[in-house]
A and B are shown apart, each in its own frame.
Chain A
Amino acid sequence: MTIATGQPVPPRKPRVGRALVTLIPYLWLLVFFLAPFIIVAKMSLSTAAVAVPPYTPVFDFAEGFVGVVDGIRQFTFDNYIWLTEDALYTRAYLSSVWIALISTILTLLVAYPIAYGMARAPRAWQPALVMLVILPFWTSFLIRVYAWTGILKREGLLNQFLLWTGLIDQPLTILNTNLAVYIGIVYSYLPFMILPLYAALERQDESLLEAASDLGSTPFKAFWQVTFPLSLPGVIAGCFLVFIPVTGEFVIPDLLGGSDTLMIGRTLWSEFFNNRDWPLASAVAVILLFILVVPIVIFQNRAEKEERSLGKKPA
C-alpha cells in the first residue's frame, strides 16, 4: 500500500473525477434521449415531401441565423390541423387510452390475488416464486405475444379444448378482436403489476391483521380496511408501469388485434413505415407524449421518492 508512511494523507479533491462521472451519462442522455424530442417537435412542424429523407427540413443550419429565421417562418401547423380534422386520429387516441385503462384494471384484478398469495406463502418459497414471476419477463415479449396467436386462432388450441369439453359447438373468433388484445396485454404486463404489489404486500406487518381480527373484524373487512389501503403504493406503481407503455403499445394490437383495433402506436407505425409521412408521424408522437407526460412525471416522482425512502432504511 502506498500509505504505509503513516503520514496523514491530504484530502483529495475529487472534483474532476466526480464531474466526469456525472457528465458522461448526463451528456449521453441529453444527446440521445432529450435532443431527439426537440427534433421530433421540429419535424412535426415541417411539410412532407417526396424525397429522401421524405420531408422539407425546417431549419437550414448551413445558412446560419438567416436559415433559422427562414425556418421559423416556414413552421406549419398543418400536421396538427390534419390530426384534429381527421376523426380517425382522435378516435385512435381515445381508443388507446380506453384500451390502456381497461387493461390496466384487468391486469390489477388478475395480479392482486397472485401477489397476495405470494406474500402469504412461506418465507422460504418466496424467492423462488418471485423468480418464477420474473422469468417470463426475461423471455422475449414478441415470442410471448406470438404464442397467443397459436392459442387463440379459430383452429387454435383454446377452441380445440373448448370444443372437446363440449362447452361450445362452434369455434369462437377471438384472434384479431379487442378481446385478444386485452388477453395479450394482461398476459405480457402481468409481471410489471405483480412485482410492485408483492413488494407492498410483503412489507406489511402481520400483527395489524391480528389486531383487526382481535377487535372483531371479519377477514373480508380486515382486507378492505387494512391490507388493501396499505398496498395502495404498490397498486399505483403497478398501474403506472402498465398504463403508460400500453397506451403506445404496437406489437400486441398489431399481432392480436383486428383491423378495427385502433391504437395510436399502430397509427404512428403505419404513418411512418407505410405512408412514409415522417412529419405527420412526428405530430402523432408529440400529441401522444402530451397525453402521457402527466402520468410519466407522476411516475418519476413516486419512483424517486421510493428509492430515497429505501436509502433511509437502516441496512
Chain B
Amino acid sequence: MSRRLSSFNVVSITLGFAFLYLPIVLLVVYSFNDSRLVTVWGGFSTRWYSQLLQNEPLLEAAWVTLRVALISATVATVLGTLAAVVLVRHGRFWGRTLFSGMIYAPLVMPDVITGLSMLLLFVAMGVDRGFWTIVLAHITFSMCFVAVVVQSRLVTFDRSLEEAALDLGCPPFRTFMQITLPIILPGVLAGWMLAFTLSLDDLVIASFMTGPGATTLPMKIYSQVRLGVTPEINAVSTILIGLVTVVVLAVSIMTKRREVERQRAERLAAAQ
C-alpha cells in the first residue's frame, strides 16, 4: 500500500526519525565540545580524540573487542548459514522442533540468562575464562541471528537452479558453493554484519564470560559511564557509530548494486 502521504503521516515519520536520531546526533556533536562539562558548549575541539589515542587501556580494549567480533562473526556466519540450510532444505528430521527452538530462542533470550548459563557451562567444563570464552559465547548467540537472516534469503530462492546442478552430477558441496552461495550471498553478508555488530556491542554476556586480561570496549565504556558522562566516551562512541554507519551503508549499497545487476542478467537470460 502506498499512496500520497497525509500530513499526519509526514508528521509521524518526521517526529519518529527525529526521536531515533536526535540522541545520536547530540552525542556526536558534544564529542567535539571543548568543555569538560558535557552539556555546556565550550567551543569546537578535537582534544578528546587526541586524548583517546593516549588512553592505552581503552585502545587495548578496543583491539580485544575487534578481534572477538571478527573471529566470532566469521565462525557464526558459517554455522548460521549451515543452520539456515538445515531449516529450509532438510524438511522433517528427528529433533527438528528442538533445533528450530534452539535457533529462535536466543533471539529473544535476555542476555543475563545467556551469560550466566554459559558461564556455568565453562566453569563446569573447567575452562579458564577469557578471550576465547567470550568468542564462543558470541558465536553461539549470533549464529542464530545469522541463521534467521540467511533463512529468509533461502526461502525465496528458486530451487530448480540447485536441482539442475545436482541432476547434472555436480556434487552437493560444489553445488552449494557455485550455485547457492552466490545467490544467497547478500543474506550471508548481512548476517556477518549483524553478527559483527552484535559482538561489538555486547556488554552483558561478555561481562559474564570474561577473565583476567580480556576487557572489551563495552565493558570499559560501561564502567566509565557508571561514573558519569565524559567527553572521552562521547568521542569513542562517535568513532564506533561512524565506523558502523560507513560499513553498513557500503555493504547495503554494494549488495543493492549486485542485486540490480543480477536481475538485469536474469531478465536478459529470460529474453533469449
Listed in ascending order, the chain A residues whose CB lies under 8 Å from chain B are 2-3, 9, 12, 14, 17-18, 21-22, 24-26, 28-37, 39-40, 43, 53, 110-111, 113-114, 116-123, 126-127, 129, 131-136, 138-144, 146-151, 153, 155-157, 160, 187, 190-191, 194, 201-202, 204-206, 209, 240-241, 244-245, 247-251, 255, 265, 268-269, 272-273, 278, 281-282, 285, 288-289, 292, 296-297, 299-300, 303-304, 307-308, 310-311, 313, 315
Chain A: minimal CB distance from B81 (Å): 9
Cβ 8 A contact of A249, one of B19, B110, B157, B201: B110
User: CB-CB < 8 A to B203: which residues of A?
Assistant: 141-142, 251
User: CB-CB < 8 A to A142: which residues of B?
Assistant: 201, 203, 218, 221-222, 225
Using known A-B contacts A25-B83, A142-B203, A150-B229, determine if residue A240 contacts B113 with beta carbons closer than 8 Å: no
The answer to whether A29 and B112 have CB atoms under 8 Å apart is: no
Complex: A303 Cα to B87 Cα, angstroms: 12
User: CB-CB < 8 A to A204: which residues of B?
Assistant: 1
Instruction: Kindly list 5 other residue pairs between chains A and B, CB separation below 8 angstroms, not including A138-B193, A187-B19, A289-B113.
Output: A22-B86, A119-B2, A150-B38, A150-B39, A204-B1
The answer to whether A150 and B85 have CB atoms under 8 Å apart is: no
Closest B residue by C-beta to A26 = B99
Closest A residue by C-beta to B151 = A307
Complex: A2 Cα to B174 Cα, angstroms: 13
Per-residue CB proximity of B71-113 to A under 8 Å, as 1/0? Answer: 0000000011011011110100101001111111110111111
The answer to whether A140 and B237 have CB atoms under 8 Å apart is: yes
Q: Indicate if B164 sits at the interface (CB-CB under 8 A).
A: no
User: CB-CB < 8 A to B46: which residues of A?
Assistant: none
User: CB-CB < 8 A to A40: which residues of B?
Assistant: 113, 116-117, 120
Q: Closest 5 interchain pairs by CB?
A: A248-B110, A36-B117, A114-B16, A9-B169, A113-B12
User: CB-CB < 8 A to B197: which residues of A?
Assistant: 138-140
User: Within residues 204 to 243 of chain B, which ones have a CB less than 8 A from any CB in chain A?
Assistant: 204, 207-208, 218, 221-222, 225-226, 229, 233-234, 237, 240-241
Complex: A132 Cα to B245 Cα, angstroms: 11
Q: Indicate if B27 sits at the interface (CB-CB under 8 A).
A: yes
User: CB-CB < 8 A to A297: which residues of B?
Assistant: 101
The answer to whether B16 and A160 have CB atoms under 8 Å apart is: no
User: CB-CB < 8 A to A118: which residues of B?
Assistant: 13
Q: Indicate if B265 sits at the interface (CB-CB under 8 A).
A: no
The answer to whether B218 and A136 have CB atoms under 8 Å apart is: no
Q: Provide 18 A-B residue pairs closer than 8 Å at the C-beta atoms, listed in order of the A residue.
A: A9-B168, A22-B90, A24-B79, A29-B102, A31-B121, A117-B5, A119-B1, A120-B2, A122-B5, A143-B221, A143-B237, A146-B27, A147-B24, A248-B110, A265-B112, A269-B204, A292-B108, A296-B104
Closest B residue by C-beta to A118 = B13
Q: Indicate if B23 sits at the interface (CB-CB under 8 A).
A: yes
User: Within residues 137 to 194 of chain B, which ones have a CB less than 8 A from any CB in chain A?
Assistant: 137, 139-140, 143, 147-148, 151-152, 155-158, 166, 168-173, 193-194
Per-residue CB proximity of B32-52 to A under 8 Å, as 1/0? Answer: 000001110000000000000
Complex: A194 Cα to B82 Cα, angstroms: 29
Using known A-B contacts A33-B106, A285-B113, determine if residue A110 contacts B244 with beta carbons closer than 8 Å: no
User: CB-CB < 8 A to B24: which residues of A?
Assistant: 136, 139, 144, 147
Using known A-B contacts A120-B1, A140-B201, A296-B105, determine if residue A32 contacts B116 with beta carbons closer than 8 Å: no
Complex: A285 Cα to B110 Cα, angstroms: 10
The answer to whether B5 and A2 have CB atoms under 8 Å apart is: no
Q: Indicate if B248 sits at the interface (CB-CB under 8 A).
A: yes
The answer to whether B221 and A146 have CB atoms under 8 Å apart is: yes
The answer to whether A35 and B121 have CB atoms under 8 Å apart is: yes
Q: How many residues of B contact A (CB 8 A)?
A: 102
Cβ 8 A contact of A190, one of B20, B106, B168: B20
The answer to whether A244 and B9 have CB atoms under 8 Å apart is: no
Chain A: minimal CB distance from B132 (Å): 13
Closest A residue by C-beta to B10 = A117
The answer to whether A32 and B2 have CB atoms under 8 Å apart is: no
User: CB-CB < 8 A to A143: which residues of B?
Assistant: 27, 221, 237, 240-241
Chain A: minimal CB distance from B257 (Å): 13
Complex: A97 Cα to B32 Cα, angstroms: 40
Q: Indicate if B263 sits at the interface (CB-CB under 8 A).
A: no
User: CB-CB < 8 A to A303: which residues of B?
Assistant: 104, 148
Chain A: minimal CB distance from B28 (Å): 9
User: CB-CB < 8 A to A28: which residues of B?
Assistant: 79, 139-140, 143
The answer to whether A140 and B112 have CB atoms under 8 Å apart is: no
Chain B: minimal CB distance from A91 (Å): 18
The answer to whether B225 and A24 have CB atoms under 8 Å apart is: no
Using known A-B contacts A29-B103, A126-B2, determine if residue A247 contacts B110 with beta carbons closer than 8 Å: yes
Complex: A194 Cα to B20 Cα, angstroms: 12
User: CB-CB < 8 A to A202: which residues of B?
Assistant: 1-2
